[in-house]
A and B are shown apart, each in its own frame.
Chain A
Amino acid sequence: MSVRELSFAQAIQEALAQAMEVDPRVFLMGEDIGVYGGAFQVTGDLVHRFGEDRVMDTPISELGGAGVAVGAAIAGSRPVYEFQFSDFSTLAMEQIVNQAAKMRYMLGGKVSVPIVFRMPCGSGTGAAAQHSQSLEAWFGHVPGLKVVEPSTPEDAKGLILAAIDDPDPVLVFEHKLLYKIKGNVPEIMYRTPIGKAVVRRNGKDATVVASAIMVHKALEAAEALAKEGIDIEVIDLRSIRPIDGATIIESVKKTTRLACIYEGVKTLGIGAEISAMIAESEAFDYLDAPIMRLGGAETPIPYSPILEKVAVPQVDGITDALRNLVKGGF
């Protein structure tokens, strides 16, 4: 089995190409995904390989474009719809939340909505408040949707392929700062299971639950703390909905301390859900310190690079917070 180094963006592109090769129902829709190659060059040259009928540039019409994709999915096609920035999904909320998410349920299980929405997200590019949001928790709040958020090229490919296979709507959040990172990616078609977290680093002193770019920041913080003799376990969530409670609960029972780190706004976010889940579980009794949440500041993302940095958790802040978590108690 051959494994090569690919970027996160290339890994997604390979997944899309392989899916289109084996299944004629799969096609891509989005803004500037054809000759332009996508705003982040994810679809790249695919239009030249598969033609304009399967790599379709839409007008700038998110509600219409995403909604047409939902309609095609109901009628037997397998669309992958790219939002140029996940922020623009707000224009298509109606079709995602009212239609795609609920269709199967409302119709008594008689229809499937096998659609994938690709959602470039996150801050750090200086694109300011309307191009930098992390809205994954919003969508995680909607029964009927599945929400995943890969952190590595390998999982990016595996989760895209799993999402395309999935008979229900799946949103894949792709942090824009990850597109260029490289990692080993198997050449074969494989699926990364939706709903399964993975332990990226074993440790005994505290558990960190993170996703997407925060996994990388948490691992960096963990390495720094290892030099001080502090041993952090890092869980890569991968799926926001369904969420892998078992893996987190198991880890917390072992380490007795928990921090949730995420880029989305802290209040009413993913960390609240994980904290509550632990509080409701048998792991609660094992806790030796209050649960800690590190999330995005309660603000739109600012343009100024100085402010943009402090608006989301960074490695230094994470390192300090984890040190305090391990030293602290009730």
Chain B
Amino acid sequence: MPASPKTTSSIKGPNARPFYAKHNAEQLKEALRRMWLIRRFEEMAEDSYVRGLTHGTMHLSIGQEATAIGVCMDLTDKDYITSTHRGHGHCIGKGAEVRYMFAEFFGKEEGYCRGRGGSMHIADPATGNLGANGIVGGGLPLATGAALAIKQRKTKDVAVCFFGDGANNEGAFHESLNIAGVWKLPVIYVCENNQYGMSVSTARSTAVKDVATRAAGYDMPGVVVDGNSIADVNEAMMAAMERARKGQGPTLIECKTYRTKGHSRSDRNRYRSKDEIEDWKQRDPIPAFEYDLQAHGVMTAAEAKAIRAGVEKEIEEAFAFAQAGTNPTPDSLLRDIYTAGSAA
């Protein structure tokens, strides 16, 4: 993997960035490992789809990994996230095991949703992951509600809501942010602005240049960060978490990023140029972070190689585990529609 010459951040001395000052080498390396895990998970997922091993559709977040990990790396299992249709990265960021994610892809009982949900619905409520969503904007009210529950139980946890640039034009976005603004809820809205909602660019869909501008209408800070820089994302996130934990209310963080793959399998990329895609591929967040960690002596080249090899092994084992999983039986069709024992 060629090191990207484009990034450097000061990590030591008086000008050290908070991102490097507040995380130790193990945490930073783990962040890198998870970014690789997302990348390789999605590449394998795509491959298995092309080979006809999985059905349905899937949305890849390749190129957006810095946002997922920069946001999630300091969360605990008590903090909540809501995710989107493009949610594999969020899920891995929140600590999901890829074997159960693959199992879900293959529609197996071992999957996170026991084969009922597929790629668009992966969730792990036990670790605060309230799930991906098939409805654009569907998670916005849900995260806001989770923040309300946190406030009601008087803990210092936060709720994080991932959503796309496209989702910011749904009514649910505006209604949710207003409620959170009025009630000062501990929620952090993370807009992954990858420039397009399916085929429609933000310039064609959104009346303001930056989604973050809209925060002003709901009395919360709105910040724009480079979504391909894990340090930038994470520093905005740390500030937002502090604000939320102090009871000062919500924050909107807009991460400018790009998906280098199509929207989904049916995409023929007619709405953007090859040059644009190539340009963004040069700004791949993973080699950039890897470069930084090595340039500043946090990690050696040998360690970087070992991290990648470890990811490779994990992916292979997870894939094999999932393929050997159990198919649901038809007689379980009506399971879990209602709570067992409730009147139905």
Binding site for B on A (CB under 8 A): 31-32, 34-37, 39, 57, 59-64, 87-88, 91, 125-131, 297-300, 302-307, 310-311
Per the bound structure, the CA–CA distance linking A306 and B325 in Å amounts to 14
A298 x B56 contact (CB < 8 A): no
Can you give 16 contacting A-B residue pairs, CB < 8 Å?
A32-B198, A36-B199, A36-B270, A57-B199, A59-B200, A60-B167, A64-B169, A88-B135, A125-B57, A127-B120, A128-B121, A128-B134, A302-B115, A303-B118, A303-B121, A306-B330
Can you name the residue of chain B whose Cβ is closest to the Cβ of A36? B199
A302 x B116 contact (CB < 8 A): yes
Also in contact, A128 and B117, with CB within 8 A (given A39-B266, A310-B330): yes
B59 to chain A, nearest CB (A): 12
Against A, the Cβ 8 Å flags (1 = close, 0 = not) of B134-173 are 1111100000000000000000000000000011011100
Per the bound structure, the CA–CA distance linking A305 and B337 in Å amounts to 18
Also in contact, A306 and B327, with CB within 8 A (given A125-B56, A297-B333, A299-B337): yes
In this assembly, does B246 line the interface, its C-beta being within 8 Å of a C-beta of chain A?
no
In this assembly, does B221 line the interface, its C-beta being within 8 Å of a C-beta of chain A?
no
Interface size on B, residues (CB 8 A): 44
Per the bound structure, the CA–CA distance linking A230 and B108 in Å amounts to 40
Can you name the residue of chain B whose Cβ is closest to the Cβ of A310? B330
B135 x A59 contact (CB < 8 A): no
A307 x B328 contact (CB < 8 A): yes
Report chain A residues within 8 Å CB of B115. Answer: 302-304, 307
Report chain B residues within 8 Å CB of A31. Answer: 198, 200
Per the bound structure, the CA–CA distance linking A57 and B113 in Å amounts to 34
Main secondary structure of the interface of A (DSSP, over half): loop
Also in contact, A130 and B200, with CB within 8 A (given A304-B328, A306-B327): no
Report chain A residues within 8 Å CB of B57. Answer: 125-127
Report chain A residues within 8 Å CB of B171. Answer: 61, 63-64, 91
Report chain A residues within 8 Å CB of B167. Answer: 60
Per the bound structure, the CA–CA distance linking A87 and B334 in Å amounts to 21
8 A Cβ contacts from B187-204 to A: 197-200, 204
Per the bound structure, the CA–CA distance linking A304 and B270 in Å amounts to 31
Per the bound structure, the CA–CA distance linking A300 and B121 in Å amounts to 13
A303 x B117 contact (CB < 8 A): yes
Per the bound structure, the CA–CA distance linking A129 and B113 in Å amounts to 12
Against A, the Cβ 8 Å flags (1 = close, 0 = not) of B254-293 are 0000000000001110110000000000000000000000
Report chain B residues within 8 Å CB of A311. Answer: 333
Report chain A residues within 8 Å CB of B198. Answer: 31-32, 36, 60
